[in-house]
Structure formats: structure tokens, C-alpha cells
Amino acid sequence: MSDYTYQEPILSLRDISMQFGGEVILRDISLDVLNVVRPGVQQGQVVGFYGRSGIGKSVLCRIIAGLLPPTTGTVQVANPQRPVVPGDVGFVQQRYPLFNHRTLLDNLLVAAGRKHAPAEAKARAEDFLTRFDLAQHRRKYPAMLSGGQRQRAAIAQQLLCSEHLIILDEPFSGLDIAMIDEVKKIIMEVTTLDELNTVVIVSHDLATTTALSDTLWLLGPERDAAGQCVPGATISKQHQYNLAEMGLAWQHGIQARPEFVQLIEHLKDEIRKT
């Protein structure tokens, strides 16, 4: 197993609860994403985020991104930690929204311009176009891009103005094997851009996401002593999986290992129980 140490927090959730019209959706969610440092490796990390459809994953993502204030609790980001505001956390939604009235280059410029002076913004936008293999499409409008190009553009746009954190909602949904490999490559590229870059992947594709992840969160309801579901989904301590501690992180071909297969089966069982 690789050597690693945990340092300052990148993202902290404290006692997050959310209610809509008296209905408890999320309850008592507390967790931290810490900066993982590995000697000789400049790489951020990946968090896999699972849960059944309709359980509240999107709500939690919007809370983490600062788009929705929780009923109780706080979300803190950056170093030193401060309450999240919209723009701190990138959020690539499932349909990869871009500004359809702007060209691809303009889309990146408008994002880069939020944090940088015009000349610097231009340089960064051009750099990202090259890194994400989109340079030849810079003058195209989003409607002219393929699904994969649009996804890369949406990720690049969010990275240009977020504070190292980016949430990808269902990045593998409806993609073929070749495209999934392409997206995996992009995610790894994002994590290697900066030591602090952290990608949260919301997905139903357990095997693909777990193979990329350092940490897993499983959102679901808990049961009380009588076996009844407690209202509101949460991410309990036993549903926060540290794959580095389990020896299942940062390894090529991990999906073939029996421990990995066992973990996937365990996750499936846990999801079914919820």
C-alpha cells in the first residue's frame, strides 16, 4: 500500500439537515474531505457518492455547491475554511449545461473572467481548451458539440472558477465503454491538474466510480432499534468508506481484485437495504 498522510480539510460538512415542507430529506450529515498527500505524487482525489434514485443526492450536491442553504448545519470549503458560497464548488450537472448563446471559447472566458484579469483569463481559457482537446472547436456554439465535447467543456468551465472542488452528476450515464474510458481519463486529468483538486462523482455505476475513488459516501436512511427507517437520508460513519485505508485506492487493475469485487457486492447490498 502507498504511503499517505491526511492534512488540512478541503471540504467539511457539519450536521447538515434539510427539510422541504416539513418533510425531512437529509439528516445529520457530517463528513470531511481532507487533503491526501502522497510522497512523489501530485494528485488530488476522487470521492464516489452513491444512493438510490430520489434519496436526496441532488439536494446534497446543491447544498455542497452553495446553491441551497441547508435547514441546519454548515458547509465549509477552502483553506482556511470558510462557509461555501456559489462559485466555490464547481457543479457539472447531468446534461452538461453551457451558455448556448456563447461560443465555446466565450463560455470558458466568462468563467475564467470571474477570478482572473482579462489577459490571464484568456491565457487560462486557451490552456484549458488545449488540455481538454477542444482547441479546434473554440469558435463553435455548444449546440454544435458532441456529447463528449460538451461534457469536457462543462468540466473545464467549472474548473476555471471553482476552488479545487468539482461535483460531477452522473458523468457515466448513457455512455458506451469507449466514452466511459474517455471520461475516466478526464477525471484523472482533473485530479492531476492540482494537488488540491477534488472530484465528487455522483453515480449509479458502482464499479467504474469505485475504481477511481479514494473515498466513498453512501447516502441512505438509517434504521432505529425496532428496524424502522428513520426519516431523512444520511451518510453514517459506516457508510463513509476510506478506500486508501482498505488498500483499494490508487491501483491499476483494481477491478479484478477479489476484495474490490466483494466491496462492490457489499455496496449493492447496502443500497438495496436502503
Partner 1 sequence: MIKDLFVPNAKPRPSVFLTMVACQVLFLLLLWLFYPLQLFPTLREVLASFKDLVTTQGLIQELWASLTTALGALAIATVLALLISYLTALPFFRPIAYAASKMRYLTLTGLTFFMALMVSSGHQVKLSVLVFGATVYLVTGMTSVILTTTQEEMDHARTLGMSEWRSFYEVVVLGKLDEMLEVVRQNFAIIWTMITLVETLYQSEGGIGLLLYKQNRYLHLAGVVAIQLVILATGAVQDYVFEFLRRMFFPYSTLSTAK
Contacts to partner 1 by CB under 8 A: 62, 65-67, 85-91, 93, 95, 97-101, 110-111, 114-115, 141-144, 157-158, 161-162
Residue 217 CB, nearest approach to partner 1 (Å): 20
Residue 56 CB, nearest approach to partner 1 (Å): 16
User: Based on CB atoms, which residue is closest to partner 1, 33 or 98?
Assistant: 98
Residue 62 CB, nearest approach to partner 1 (Å): 7
User: For 250, phi and psi rounded to 5 degrees?
Assistant: 60, 35
Residue 89 CB, nearest approach to partner 1 (Å): 7
User: Based on CB atoms, which residue is closest to partner 1, 4 or 141?
Assistant: 141
Q: Is 193 exposed, middle or buried (0-12, 13-18, 19+ CB in 10 A)?
A: middle
**Contact, 139 vs 104, CB < 8 A?**
yes
Residue 125 CB, nearest approach to partner 1 (Å): 13
User: Based on CB atoms, which residue is closest to partner 1, 111 or 200?
Assistant: 111
Residue 122: count of CB within 10 angstroms of its CB: 16
C-alpha cell at 88: 466555490
User: Based on CB atoms, which residue is closest to partner 1, 85 or 261?
Assistant: 85
User: Based on CB atoms, which residue is closest to partner 1, 50 or 96?
Assistant: 96
Residue 116 CB, nearest approach to partner 1 (Å): 12
User: Based on CB atoms, which residue is closest to partner 1, 70 or 220?
Assistant: 70
Residue 87 CB, nearest approach to partner 1 (Å): 2
User: Based on CB atoms, which residue is closest to partner 1, 160 or 271?
Assistant: 160
